[in-house]
Amino acid sequence: MKPDAEYLKNLLTAFRNSPTPTTDIMNLKEAGIDYENPNFEFHMHLLLDDGYIESSAGLNDFGLSRGVDGYLSWSVIPLRLTAAGHEFAEGLENPKAFETVRKDFVGASLGTIKDVVVGVIKAEISKHTGLHL
């Protein structure tokens, strides 16, 4: 399975649209992000690995437990976007940055996606302000 920029954008948007500082798998499901979809598990692990999300309960997980028989068990725990997660989500909301990632970096790692998004945004800032970041 490879990272999907469109899925990431939708997932991070659901986090950012939460009316409270934290969200959970049930709130995300109400926002159209089904935690029982394998894409959810895959992308949440990546976001957790890179420090874009964390449990506000201090746990290094997002509520998923897998038994030795492969059975999945979910816990509803509070989750939040970190500062880096907000920055990443904001970058994916930029239409030019998102389109660049979606078209030219299909299946790229989160690190590459983030680098491209930041690069495109910095280029836009430079173009409009003359500032070289």
Model pLDDT, residue 3 = 95
pLDDT at 65: 81
The burial class, CB within 10 Å (0-12 / 13-18 / 19+), for 102 is: middle
* Alpha carbons 91 and 114: distance in angstroms, whole number: 8
Cβ–Cβ under 8 Å, residues 63 and 76: yes
Q: Give which of 10, 7, 12, 2 is closest to 81, Cα–Cα.
A: 12
pLDDT of the residue at 125:
86
**Tens place of pLDDT per residue across the chain (133 aa):** 999 999 999 999 999 999 999 999 999 999 999 999 999 999 999 999 999 999 977 767 888 888 888 788 888 999 999 999 999 999 999 999 999 999 999 999 999 999 999 898 888 888 888 777 7
Give CA angle at 32 (41, 101), nearest 5°: 65
Q: What pLDDT, on a 0 to 100 scale, did the predictor assign at position 60?
A: 79
CB 78 within 8 Å of CB 57: yes
Taking a C-beta distance cutoff of 8 angstroms, is the pair 101, 94 a contact?
no
Element (H, E) at 54: strand 53-55
